[in-house]
Structure 1
Amino acid sequence: MDTSKEPLKYDFKSIEAKWQQLWLTEKPYKVSADPLRPKYYVLEMFPYPSGRIHMGHVRNYSIGDVIARYKRLRGYNVLHPMGWDAFGLPAENAALKHGVHPAQWTYSNIDYMRGQLKAMGLSYDWDREIATCRPEYYRWEQLVFLQLLEKGLVYRKKTTVNWCNDCATVLAREQVIDGCCWRCDQQVVPKNMHGWFLKITDYAEELLADLDKLGGWPEKVVTMQRNWIGKSQGLACDFQLEEGQGEKIAIFTTRPDTIFGVTFMSLAPEHPLIETLIKGTEHEAAVRSFIEQTLLEKQRMALDQEPEKHGIFTGRYCVNPFTGGRVPIYVANFVLMEYGTGAVMAVPAHDQRDFEFARKYGLPVCPVVQPPGDALDGAGMEAAWEGDGVLVNSGKFTGMPAAAAKKAVIAEAEKQGFGKTHTTWRLRDWGISRQRYWGAPIPVIHCERCGAVPVPAEQLPVVLPGTAPPYGSHAPLHQQEAFYKTICPQCGQPAQRETDTMDTFMESSWYFARYTSPRKDDGVLDQAEVNYWLPVDQYIGGVEHAILHLLYSRFFTKALRDLGYLQIDEPFTNLLTQGMVIKDGAKMSKSKGNVVDPDDLIQQYGADTVR
């Protein structure tokens, strides 16, 4: 036996190049609907074209590829597409940083990342590739927006945004660093501006109930969505102002059993009644100063940051409808206008947040629910008692178990005519307006005579200016007169286009459906295709998308169903949250600077080994 010869080596470079070229020309993964075969739709969350794919992406895509290949071998007709979540603030920022147009930056990145994915040998049907920044994609999104507007699921209202006076523009939350503009370091201030909203709250009950259908989802994700939707039942009632002209403060509480223990009222700094309470009083200047400072501090805080509790007395009182007692009214920095009514009846003996506030400002603590075998003393309590018990100091309800008292108090409020049983939701309507350039234009025209007028469907898409080479200016649309100056389609008079663009979650909320008929150029979706392929059988992506993307996709599916485009209630039958690739103790990401490029590993070991 001759042992002098070199051992045979696996020549992965030539082998992989051969087969990848064959796949490119013969397209073995291209599929079409076939009613005679069982279908299987596997999908990974599509990437944002940031420039390069790293090994964190590879984990996600490799899992999907394994499933796709297995199902093909089992005889399924497998749809496994790929595309690009291509609009958004990061692209705009990166383009500004590098002195190029967002379109040029984005399409260049797409070309490079597509090459990376093909070099990995992933079994995608590339004929279905989409990029959400292309007019042929967002044209249909604009049409759906107009149909939702006609259906009453879209509205416009004023909302508070982050505003930089120096740059004269709205900033996204992530562009505010320590309360200052990321670009010019000037102080960011809150500003009221109009914005567009989708009425996701109209679907709150169905979104909550249909969570029970998602047996193929991780329980953690289902629980997160259930908590985010946040259905609460309790008492809605009014506290009349002591010296008002019929004015009242509307409150909602899930603890009506504690209403006899109210010792102060807390209002959100944005509460509309504050102006009435303080105007012309000795407290006006101090309260206005407090509100201004509180709103500025909100700009500096992280979304999950709990503020140190502060408040200020308005000098006014309201009346507890059950006791007739005077209740001082405070403005408090921890009360949120977007939750409930923006007013909280404060019961410091039985709510820890209220307890801390009361101790800080020397307000009374009055126990009205006694725990079993104990007698609470308001003066000596070191923390609130938030558990169950029996009512004390509660009029005719004294002696009742708290659970029974909740129903009895609501019944009494309804009998007396100042309250009623009520259901409230943590879920808020979806604000889709972005005052940025790199997004899908909102197809509305503002006319002084006719109001907000939908762009006629035959005039869609409303395209971004300057996206074709040579790339032009990409300033925010409100700075581009050639874009916003137009003619009202109803009266023919000069008018202005809407200059807000859509939140990029709009594009990712229906892309999985568009994959079924990505080249359809005469409508949103092909009915036969969506009926065959949807729902997605296996969806794969990060748990960080558990709330917004997945919730919005569920809402959009139901809205498209009600518009007649779909016949399903839920978009994803099974969900896999694939976990993270960790390097240097942190999640692999470009922002962390700890990415490992698969190109280097492919060159050294081959695509099969990397996968």
Structure 2
Amino acid sequence: MSERSSELEAKWQERWYAARINEVEADGRPKFMLIFAYPGVTGYLHVGHMRGYTYVDAIARYKRLEGYNVMFPVGTHATGNGAISLAARIARKDQKTIDYLCGNTCPTDMLEQLKDPVKVVEFFNDVYVNQYWKRFGFLCDWRRFTSTVKPDYQMFIRWQFRKLMERGLLIQKPYYAPACVSHGPVAIDASETDIQCGGSAETVEYTMLKFRCGDMFLVAATLRPETVFGQTNFWVNPQADYVKMRVKDEVWVVSEQAYFKLSYQMDGIEKVAEVKGSELIGLRCIAPMIRREILTLPADFVDPAVGTGLVTSVPSDSPDDWISLRALQQDPGALSKYGLDPEAVRAIRPIAIIEMKGWSDLPAVEITERMGITAPDDPKLEEAKKLVYKDGFHTGRMNQASGEYAGLPVMEAKERMKQAMIAAGEADVMYDLSETVTCRCGEQVVIKKVDDQWFIDYSNSEVTLASKEQAKRMDIFPAEYYQNIHGVLDWFRERACVRQGNWIGTRFPFDEKWIIEAISDSTLYPVYYTISKYANEGSLLPEQMTEEFFDLVILGSGNAEAVSAGTGVDPGLLRRIQDDVRYWYPLDLNLGGKEHMTVHFPAFLMNHVAILPGDMLPRGIFVNWYIIGKGGKISKSKGGAQPIPGAAERYGVDALRLYYAHIASPFADVEWDNEAVESYSARTERMERTLLDLMALDGQASEVDGWLISRMASRLLRVQEVMRAYDLRSMANEVYFEAFNDLRWYQRRGGSHAPTVRRVLDLLLPMMMPITPHTAEELWEASGRSGLLSAAPMPKVAEGEVDAAKERAEDYLRALMDDANEILKVTGIKPSRMTLFTSAPWKHEVLEMAAGLHARGELKVPSLTKAAMSRESVRSRGKEAQDFARKLAEELMKRSSIEVEKLSLKIDELEFLKGCKDFLEREYGCEVQVHQAGGDVSDPQNKARQAAPGRPAILVE
């Protein structure tokens, strides 16, 4: 991109901010308030983030055009351990982190300061505002900027939690939560705010089965306690390291990794010895519930990092167990190596325990035979397990081998058998993660028991029902999420809302050893943007923002004089803040990435419903998908992402904005492609160059002038239609592709009328402004207009400017040229003369009848034929008329009413084409003649007979 582009961007950004058009106050106009989900302060952002942010600015600019008083505030979300982890890595001189920082925009002399997490937040706040959002020309009201580290913001969050407590939505109970082994609890969700990897991990509950083996218990973890009646042997990984640990008055054997995890979940456990897996092979132990002696056998498939690192074997229903057992039975070398009795091992047989529809009584045996699985390392085993487990759980019933549980559905037996074994002291519970999760500090995340955890009770039926009702009234995009959010609200349950440890965030007002976690302090915050300006300018101090203050200005409870007496805030200022809140709220649109669909957005809605009155509830949610790199989602925490300043320099900001708006639906992931972005850079330049060329024209008026004005007016009306659903892609297509083609056609047709160009600029430049504001402003100024386009109102389409007949005529001409070009391509003729035959008048009569029948929903071949043949001018054409009526009816029956109406618009084809004669002769370099079919003209190929309304016949010689 040229240096001129950067200069142009800086020029207009300076003018916008100098004019303060981004700063808004409550006034008499209708308002529109929108935000994007503020980013976590965990490092540099990348081009993927700018997709959603750009949508918000484009929508904000468009709403300004429509006459709305638009508030677009921004902030940052520093809660959690992101800044702490980054500061810690800098402090220990982690080279990868230092290279990452200095390779972007961090001066080396800043590194010493960035050992302080607060300085990290301040540094990235500046980066986000000045290098990203201002660099892209966003019209944010910077006076309202806030961050979750600010004391005034934290006073607001403390007030929010007091309201939740008042409404009975804060509860306390024991909890097993993900926790970093160094920093304490973390949130695991798709946003990966607190973690480096593992955002899709789920908490898994294992049943730990205790197998008595002499004076100790071998402890196996299972997800299927209902299968214990089918236990035939016990699996141990001979290569793994195990530990003996004391649990109360018992000694358990688990893997080293399991002991580490259990130390965070069980009180008072102690390692007493280490033992090799090979030492545990060949032992006999008593299986729980069935109290049958079984043999311990070697199995490499047992992962010491999963569960307890020990597994019980149920070969009837586990394809893994069956294949491994059979392989061992057929491997004399392995039996000899571990000193196993071959006869004892070969005597082990599967025990049928579950009856399943469509399966034999030994489903694991059946599925492995069906899929041709013979080896323990066959990748098809995973699919086999899923098939058997799914059908077994959903359709299976316990058979007679299951004792008192016989006849029970598997899903019921599972819980009953688990509880029975726990009650008998034969089992316990362990929690683990479904995949590896790493904290932002680099340490492992485990499941940890918290005895007195606080939760927000999102399962409250009253709040859930009211939230679902509000969701029905909201504008939610995409439509699929409008349907799905109701189900999400239904299954949303208690969510842990506080953490202990080394975290940035707000102290929990009811017990300050806790910090409010990152999702819970980012739900009601949009309303705080209506207040933050006063704190930022110093009119409000954090200590003045008491519960009574927020009750007054947000909820309208209390009176200004009483609150003033308690806080020292002037009553007039209190009333002004209260008026601001009531003017700007509710929030009209909240935009965020798809990772927020099951985390942030439900909590955002439910907190509003729980705390605010009905007239302050949010009106809209917009979900955008990702810009992805080759191979998956771009992540700022993993590196490899295109830096924003570099992309802006390389392609130009407007090109990037157009790319985001047009490359795909916002509801689809897009793979970043440098060549694609380059094409949008070229598109932006071509549009600017074409408009500058048109501005230089000063020719005579012509027929094509009315067409171009009509076309631009129609495009404006179309943009207004699609933007009711914030359809920026359709808007971009109308403006930068369809309208661009219109301009090029105008040039091609010889249009050069300055007043026409001026009116076109009136209509087109405001449509360009929301997506490519810098280019649009430059063209606005170049055309001699004063003031800022970004502050101008939406142009109005004057009566009569949209002329469907003129648009139809030019479409007719272009369709004619397409047909002529195809003829020349197929025949290879270099024309010396082209004769055009317009349709005979009687065919227009038939078309008019067909359009009338179509409008009434009565168009059929018989009805049109009957109507046409009732008219003498048509009937006299005999079979030709009947054939034409049939073909026309068949064609129009496939068309929409709008298409038929357009086709039937009356234009004088003969006179219009005569007016285009000079243009066509220039285009084709040959003589062009225009005649009406049926006239006295040479037609050796009888082409005139083929002419139809809207489609002239073409004779090329």
TM range (shorter): 0.5 to 0.7
Contact 1:534 1:571 survives alignment (8 Å): yes
Shift of 1:353: 5.9
Contact 1:370 1:391 survives alignment (8 Å): yes
Name whichever of 327-336 and 114-123 sits farther off: 327-336
* Aligned-partner SS, 2:592: strand
* Aligned-partner SS, 1:539: strand
Contact 2:23 2:140 survives alignment (8 Å): yes
Higher relative contact order (CA 8 A, sep 6+): 1
Contact 1:510 1:553 survives alignment (8 Å): no
Counterpart pick for 1:295 among 254, 260, 269: 260
Match of 1:123 in 2: 139
The verdict on how the C-alpha distance between 1:366 and 1:312 changes in structure 2, with shifts beyond 3 A counting, is farther
Match of 1:587 in 2: 634
Match of 1:71 in 2: 63
Match of 2:78 in 1: 86
Counterpart pick for 1:454 among 501, 511, 515: 511
* Aligned-partner SS, 2:589: strand
* Aligned-partner SS, 1:120: coil
Counterpart pick for 1:261 among 194, 215, 230: 230
Counterpart pick for 2:11 among 14, 17, 31: 17
* Aligned-partner SS, 1:137: helix
Shift of 1:581: 5.5
Shift of 1:439: 0.9
Shift of 1:85: 2.1
Percent of paired sites with the same residue: 16
State whether structure 2 residue 210 is matched by structure 1 residue 153: no
Match of 2:668 in 1: none
The verdict on how the C-alpha distance between 1:557 and 1:196 changes in structure 2, with shifts beyond 3 A counting, is farther
State whether structure 2 residue 608 is matched by structure 1 residue 608: no
Contact 2:26 2:583 survives alignment (8 Å): no
The verdict on how the C-alpha distance between 1:110 and 1:326 changes in structure 2, with shifts beyond 3 A counting, is same
State whether structure 2 residue 34 is matched by structure 1 residue 41: yes
Match of 1:139 in 2: 155
In structure 1, what is the Cα distance between the partners aligned to 2:419 and 2:631? 64
Match of 2:410 in 1: 406
State whether structure 2 residue 47 is matched by structure 1 residue 55: yes
Q: Which structure has the bigger radius of gyration? A: 2
Alignment of 1:201-212 (within 5 A): none
Q: Which runs of 5+ in 1 are unaligned?
A: 1-8, 164-169, 173-194, 201-223, 300-309, 445-452, 456-497
Contact 2:73 2:529 survives alignment (8 Å): yes
Cα deviation code 1:265-314 (max 9, x no counterpart):
899x99999725743xxxx6xx36x3368639999xxxxxxxxxx89969
Contact 2:207 2:418 survives alignment (8 Å): no
Name whichever of 53-62 and 591-600 sits farther off: 591-600
The verdict on how the C-alpha distance between 1:313 and 1:555 changes in structure 2, with shifts beyond 3 A counting, is farther
State whether structure 2 residue 451 is matched by structure 1 residue 433: no
Alignment of 1:310-329 (within 5 A): 321=289, 325=292
TM-score (normalizing by structure 1): 0.53
2:260 maps to amino acid: L
TM-score (normalizing by structure 2): 0.37
The verdict on how the C-alpha distance between 1:376 and 1:15 changes in structure 2, with shifts beyond 3 A counting, is closer
Cα deviation code 1:82-121 (max 9, x no counterpart):
1112353344236535221332343233234322322321
1:558 maps to amino acid: M
Contact 1:535 1:568 survives alignment (8 Å): no
Contact 2:288 2:421 survives alignment (8 Å): no
State whether structure 2 residue 643 is matched by structure 1 residue 577: no
Name whichever of 270-279 and 77-86 sits farther off: 270-279
In structure 2, what is the Cα distance between the partners aligned to 1:374 and 1:28? 71
In structure 2, what is the Cα distance between the partners aligned to 1:59 and 1:20? 23
Match of 1:479 in 2: none
State whether structure 2 residue 532 is matched by structure 1 residue 540: no
In structure 1, what is the Cα distance between the partners aligned to 2:16 and 2:648? 23
* Aligned-partner SS, 1:119: coil
Cα deviation code 1:362-387 (max 9, x no counterpart):
98563534774756497896556643
In structure 2, what is the Cα distance between the partners aligned to 1:119 and 1:393? 65
The verdict on how the C-alpha distance between 1:152 and 1:240 changes in structure 2, with shifts beyond 3 A counting, is farther
Contact 2:74 2:142 survives alignment (8 Å): yes
State whether structure 2 residue 64 is matched by structure 1 residue 99: no
2:128 maps to amino acid: M
Q: Which runs of 5+ in 2 are unaligned?
A: 94-110, 189-197, 265-276, 329-337, 369-373, 375-380, 424-429, 434-492, 536-544, 557-580, 658-957
Contact 1:598 1:610 survives alignment (8 Å): no
Match of 1:514 in 2: 528
Contact 1:84 1:132 survives alignment (8 Å): yes
State whether structure 2 residue 317 is matched by structure 1 residue 350: yes
Cα deviation code 1:377-398 (max 9, x no counterpart):
9789655664347979931789
1:595 maps to amino acid: Q
Contact 1:48 1:84 survives alignment (8 Å): yes
Contact 1:240 1:319 survives alignment (8 Å): yes
Contact 1:319 1:325 survives alignment (8 Å): yes
1:537 maps to amino acid: L
In structure 1, what is the Cα distance between the partners aligned to 2:630 and 2:186? 39
1:551 maps to amino acid: V
Cα deviation code 1:483-509 (max 9, x no counterpart):
xxxxxxxxxxxxxxx4x7554444445
Larger % of helix: which? 2
* Aligned-partner SS, 2:627: coil
1:129 maps to amino acid: F
Contact 2:400 2:407 survives alignment (8 Å): no
The verdict on how the C-alpha distance between 1:516 and 1:320 changes in structure 2, with shifts beyond 3 A counting, is farther
The verdict on how the C-alpha distance between 1:68 and 1:263 changes in structure 2, with shifts beyond 3 A counting, is farther
The verdict on how the C-alpha distance between 1:62 and 1:373 changes in structure 2, with shifts beyond 3 A counting, is closer
The verdict on how the C-alpha distance between 1:85 and 1:375 changes in structure 2, with shifts beyond 3 A counting, is closer
In structure 2, what is the Cα distance between the partners aligned to 1:162 and 1:125? 37
In structure 2, what is the Cα distance between the partners aligned to 1:597 and 1:395? 66
Contact 1:539 1:572 survives alignment (8 Å): no
State whether structure 2 residue 588 is matched by structure 1 residue 558: no
Larger % of strand: which? 1
The verdict on how the C-alpha distance between 1:155 and 1:144 changes in structure 2, with shifts beyond 3 A counting, is farther
In structure 2, what is the Cα distance between the partners aligned to 1:85 and 1:411? 41
State whether structure 2 residue 116 is matched by structure 1 residue 111: no
1:128 maps to amino acid: R
The verdict on how the C-alpha distance between 1:238 and 1:39 changes in structure 2, with shifts beyond 3 A counting, is same
RMSD: 6.3
In structure 1, what is the Cα distance between the partners aligned to 2:246 and 2:279? 12
